[in-house]
Structure 1
Amino acid sequence: MALTGRRQFLGGLLAAGLVPKPTWADAGSPAFLSAAATKGGSYVLCGIDAGLNVVFQLPLPDRGHAAAGHPSRPEAVAFARRPGTFAVVIDCVTGRQTAVLNAPEGRHFYGHGAFSADGSLLYTTENDFEAGRGRVGVWDAASGYARIGEWDSGGIGPHDIKRLPNSDILVVANGGIDTHPDTGRTKLNLPTMRPNLAYIDQGVVVETAELSRDMHKNSIRHLAVSGDGTVVFGMQWQGDDTPPPLVGLHRMGGAITLPHGTDETARAMDGYIGSIAFAENGKAIAVTSPRGGRIQVFDPETLGLSYTKTSADVCGVAPSGRQFITTSGTGEIERLGQYADANPRHLPLMFDNHLVSL
C-alpha cells in the first residue's frame, strides 16, 4: 500500500479506535526531519529515513526553519523562520495539522523548540521585542498545545534550545543580538551584545556561561548535546575583523573551552556556523556553513580540526551513528564519515537550515 493510502487507512482506523496508538514507524520510520522548499515554490516538512529516502512531505504555511519531533508519538512541531510568529503541529501519520502555536502579542519565535523528557511540554525560544529580552514559552503538549507559562531565557536573542540527557534541564543559546520587527532583521545592539549559554531548571536560570569580553560579538546560535551532557555550540561572528574560533564546548559547572586553531579555520566558514552536531558516540563534532560552503569536523577532546570538505549551500547536519548526514539548499543529501557514500543524492528540494534527529 502506498504511504499516502496507508496514512488514510490508519487515520480511519484510529478514528474508530480500532488500532493501538501510532508510532514513528507508522509514519514511514523517519530518522530525521527537515523543512524544505519545493521546486514549485511551496514549503514542506520532510521526513527522511536512515537510507536517506524522503518518506513524507507535509505542507507548511510558510518557510520553515527547524522542527521538534515528539519523543513518543509521530508528531512534529515545525517552526517558522525567524522572526516568525507561528509554529504548526503536524500528525506525521495522517499529514493533518492538529494545532497552531501563535506567539503572544509583542513576541516572535526564533525557529527552535524542545520537548520535555516525557513529551508533555514543549519549550520555545522567543523574543520579547519591546523589553529587548529573551523568553522561553511553555506549551502543554498533552492539552492541545495550550500556552501555560513563560520563563526568562537568561539573556537576549535566544535561538537554539536543547534538553540535557536524562533530565529536564534546558540549555539555551542566547545569541546576544537585540532585534525588533519594525526594523526587520537589523541588529540593534552589536557594540553591547553579550551572548551566553543559560541552563534552566524548572523555570529558574541556574547557571550561565559567557565568552570573554574580546569575543562578545561572537553570537552563540546553535547547540548539540552529547550523551554525557557536554554541550557544543556554534557561533556567528558579528565583527568586521578576522573571526575568532566559532566552535565551543561547555559542561555545567565548568568553563567554556575554545579550539586553538588558526584564523583560517573560522575564515573558511566566513565567520558563520549554520548547524552543529555531535556524533552519537561523542567522538566527533560536525559544523556547517552555507556562507562558506564548507563542512568541518572537530575532535571533541582537543577541538582540533580533523576533516574539512567543500559543499555548496550546506547547512543541515545530524548524527548517524559515528557518521553525519548533511543537507543543502541545492537539494543534496549525503552521508559524511569513514564509510561515506561515494555520491550524494540530489533531490528536487531546497532543504532549509536544520536537519533534526528523531
Structure 2
Amino acid sequence: MNNYKIAFIICTNNDVYYEECTRYISELKIPEGYETDVICIREADNILQGYNAGMEATDARYKVYLHQDTFIVNEDFLTEALAVFKKHEKVGMLGMIGTTHMPTDANCYLSWNVGKVAAYDGTALGNTDFLYQSENKECVPVEAIDGMLMMTQYDLPWREDILSGWDFYDISQSIEMRKHGYEVVVPYQESEWCYHDNGVAGLARYDMERHKMVAAYPEIFKEDVDWNKAEALQEELQTYRNIRSGFATLFETENYRELAEFLEGLRDEEILDTQIREMIHLIDIYQEEEQTQVCHSGLFGAKDWEKISQTYQWIHFVMIRLGYKKDDERYRQLYQMLEQKELSVSAVQNVAVSSLRDGREALQYLIAHV
C-alpha cells in the first residue's frame, strides 16, 4: 500500500463527461510528496463491480470514487480532504453531502441534511447552502453519504454480492464502513468543493435495488417497496422516453411553435427526464431570440437534435468554467463564435443563468480573459 498515492476511480459510459471530469482533476493542487492516478472503468456491469475493479487495480491508500459528472471545483480538495483523514484516524470515508438519520425506507436522497454541493438538475442550479455544517468548521459524522464523490483511506469490498446496479452502493458502503468500526463524515466546506452536473437521477432499477437493500440490512430498513408504485414509475419513465423522441423530431424538422405548445403543458410538472427539461430551456432561448429579432443561433442551425444537444452541453460546460473562474482554452472559441454570430449573446447568457448561481457576470469575465 502506497501511503502517498491518491487514485481517482471513475466508471464512465460517456467520453465527453469523462474528459470534463478529468479536466478538473488535472487542476487540483497535489500535496508535496504525493502522487495521483486516474483509473477509468469502462463497460462495467454495475458500479459496485467497477469500483471493486478500480480498488484492486491500484496500490493507492487514498481512493476517490466519483461520478463522471462530478467536477471538483476546489483546487485545494486533496489538501483539505487529507487533513481530515490525518486528523481523524478512525474516519474511513468522506463525502460532500450526507445524512445524520438513515430513513427506514432507504430513500436517503430525501434525507440529506449535512454538507454542500452545487447540483444542476437540467433546469437550474440547486442551492444546498441550507444543509447543516459544524459551527466550529469541523467535519460532521453521518450515517450515509451521497455517491457523487466518496473518498476513502481504508479499503472495504463494495457489496456487489447484494447489489447489482447503479443505486444504493453509496448507502451500502456507508453502512459497511460503520459496521467495521470506521466513521463516515462530511467535511466543512466554506464554499462547495464540487459541482454535480447530475440532471435527473436515473430511476430505471431504483426500487429493485432498494428492495435488495431492505433485505440485506433488515436491522436498519423496515419498510419494503410498494411494487404498484414502482411499476407506475416505470410506466411514467417510458412515457417520457417516448415524448422525448417525438420532441427531438420536432426540433429536427424546425416545428418550434408546435414544440413550444407541447412543452408549455409540461412546465408545471416534475419532469423525470433531463433532456426534456433542457428542451424546455432551449425553446425558451429560441422564443427570446425570435421576439428580439436576433439571428437564430448555431444551437438551432444544426437541424439535428444530437448536435443541438451537444452544442448546448458544450456551452453549459464552458459557463461552469467561467463561473468558477477557471482557465480554459475554449473561451477563445466561444468568443469567436459570438463574434461571428454562430451563437447569440442571449443564448449563451440564458445557459449561464441556468448553469450558475449567478451567471450575470459570466460574459463579462469571458470578454476580460480572451
Indicate whether the TM-score tops 0.5. Answer: no
State TM-score, norm by structure 1: 0.29
Structure number with bigger Rg: 2
- Structure with a larger share of its residues in helix: 2
Which structure would you say has the larger RCO, counting Cα contacts within 8 Å and 6 or more residues apart?
2
- Structure with a larger share of its residues in strand: 1
